[in-house]
Every structure is written in C-alpha cells, then in structure tokens.
Structure 1
Amino acid sequence: MAGDEINLGEALAGNAVRRLIRDVGRLPDDLRKRLRPAMREAAQPVLADARRRASWSTRIPAALRLATSFTRRQAGVSIVASQKRAPHARPYEGITGRDNFRHPVFGNREEWVEQKTRPFIGPAVDLHGRRVVAAVNKTVDEAAREAGFKRT
C-alpha cells in the first residue's frame, strides 16, 4: 500500500484465501493472476455502494479503490482511500469507533469543533459482505481445484 493511502475496509473474503496460503505457502503467480480479478469483480458492489453512500463528499468517492492482498496477515480484498485525495475520509468513516470527531475550524488550531461521523464503507460491507465472501470462496475453491489441490 502506498504511503498516501489508508485502508478503511476490513479485508473482505479473506478466510478462504488465508486458508489456502496457510496450506500451500506463497500462492503461485498464475493462481494469483486468476484470483485477483475475480476478487475485485466480487467486491465491486461494495465499492459502488460505498461511493454512493459517500456522495455527499466531492472527493471521497473518487478516492476509494479496491486493493487485493495475498499475505498471511491480510488476505482478501479491501477498500482503500487515498489520504492525499481525501484526508477527511478516515474521520468521517469513524474507524475509531466513536460517533464524533474533532477538528480545527479552517485550520485554526485555536478553535475546534465536534462533528458527527458519516460511515460509508461499514454499511456497504454489512449489506454486500456475505455475497462477496461467498463469491470469493467459490473462486478460491475452483482455482485451487484446477491447480491440483484436493479438498480434505
């Protein structure tokens, strides 16, 4: 992940991918090439919904993108926001768990205001997450089977 990006969404559909990585180690390149577009396609409804929910902002929707990962720690597909393009995305999503956040008024550090969060990724994941997980798990199973792995 580039330095100007923040990962806002938990990795979606990572269980099957993590399980496969745990069983075989580093995934072969051809398997990654097959899985990456399928994972991105499965997660498109979540990204579209998150962008729609953030449409009150002129910058957040365009700053959101999907990122795929095949590491043991974070396998799956995540929604990432460019911190450079939308530095306000993180506080508005409310990833700290609070309903409010504080910020200076127009950069004036002498005057601070409290503002309510407006989550856009969490609700999109809640709505579409199960379908994404099912689609990615199916793709992982098919790709693993075609690569010669057998179900135990």
Structure 2
Amino acid sequence: MQGEWGLRGGNDLRRISRELRKMDDKEIKKRFRKELRAAAAPLVPRVRASIRSLPSSRGYSPDGLRGRLSKATRLEVKTTGKQAGVAIRVDGRKMPTHMKGLPKAVEGTKRWRHPVFGHRDVWVDQPKQPYFFHVVRPLGLASRKAVSRVLDGISRDIR
C-alpha cells in the first residue's frame, strides 16, 4: 500500500518484517536494519544541535539539562512486532530519576512548574523551549522517502 506522496506506510514495514522472519537470509535482515538506520540517522545530530542551541544563562554543560537531553536523544529501529518502525526519541528513561519528564516539559507538550529556589510557597511555570518537532517536521518527508526506498529495495530482494 502506498501512503501519501507515494510513500510506504507502517503496514508495509510490518509485512516486510514478517517476510524477513520467514527467510533464513541473515545478510538481507542485517542490511534491512542498517539501511533503515542510515535513512533516519541524519535527524539525530540535528535534534541534538537544536537542544544544545536552547537559550541558557549558564552556558552549555554536558551535565546540565541540555547536555542530558542531548545524550538521551537516540534513533530506534524496530523491525519486529506491531510497533515496527523507525523513531527519533528523546528518551526520558535515559534521564536522571528526577528529570524523566523534562524532555516533554521543555518541548512544551507537558506543563513544567517548579518552586523558586526551593521555596515551596512560591512556584513558577517554566516557559517551553521547543527543540524537537520544529526540527523533525521539515526533514520528515525526506526521511520517509528514504525509508520508502529501503522498503522498495528489500521488497525486490525478497521476491
């Protein structure tokens, strides 16, 4: 099935994954994962650069919020199951315990409130600082086309 702009969708990825599991050709399976990863890989450094460019009064530090968000940014390629796909993720699970919700809060998809200098009687809303979607959306079409090309090539090899 072709999606919008003649692109293949998640159903095609799942179908191809099923066909690959039936095959006993480890080289094609390995190439499939490698090519999917290569198609989406250019997005990761751009998201990390966007995170590092967020305004801060303290400057950039690998141990600060921006450094930790950058380290938590990763590419996931899953070729099995119902959730088969390629995803760029700023993974809150990779953040320290007290910061797990901050990737969503900084982006602005979740409210971020905190006490002023630890005083529990005075709270402020932290303004959002979008870093993810405005970077990924413009590059999304090119990445989807690249993934579609990978799926077409693997489909030809399976046949």
Using structure 2 for the length normalisation, give the TM-score. Answer: 0.68
Equivalent residue number for residue 59 of structure 1: 68
Judge conservation of contact 2:13–2:84 (CA < 8 Å) in 1: no
Residue 143 (1) aligns with residue 157 (2): no
User: How much has 1:111 moved relative to structure 2?
Assistant: 3.1
Judge conservation of contact 2:79–2:85 (CA < 8 Å) in 1: yes
Judge conservation of contact 1:15–1:75 (CA < 8 Å) in 2: no
Kindly provide the CA deviation profile for residues 17-49 of structure 1, in whole angstroms up to 9, marking residues without a partner as x: 422424774642745422222122111221111
Equivalent residue number for residue 109 of structure 2: 95
Q: Which runs of 5+ in 1 are unaligned?
A: 1-13
Q: Aligned residues, how many?
A: 131
Q: Where do residues 116-127 of structure 1 align in structure 2 (5 Å cutoff)?
A: 116-127=127-138
Q: Pick 1 or 2: higher relative contact order, CA cutoff 8 A, min separation 6.
A: 1
Equivalent residue number for residue 112 of structure 1: 123
Kindly provide the CA deviation profile for residues 67-118 of structure 1, in whole angstroms up to 9, marking residues without a partner as x: 112356433211222324253212112235xxxx232225655432112212
Identity %: 28
- Identify the structure with the greater strand proportion: 1
Using structure 1 for the length normalisation, give the TM-score. Answer: 0.70
Equivalent residue number for residue 5 of structure 1: none
Equivalent residue number for residue 77 of structure 1: 86
Equivalent residue number for residue 38 of structure 1: 35
Change (3 A) 1:103 1:131: same
Q: Which runs of 5+ in 2 are unaligned?
A: 1-6, 55-65
Change (3 A) 1:102 1:110: farther
CA distance in 2, matches of 1:107, 1:35: 50
Equivalent residue number for residue 21 of structure 1: 14
Judge conservation of contact 2:33–2:79 (CA < 8 Å) in 1: no
CA-atom RMSD in angstroms: 2.7
User: How much has 1:131 moved relative to structure 2?
Assistant: 0.8
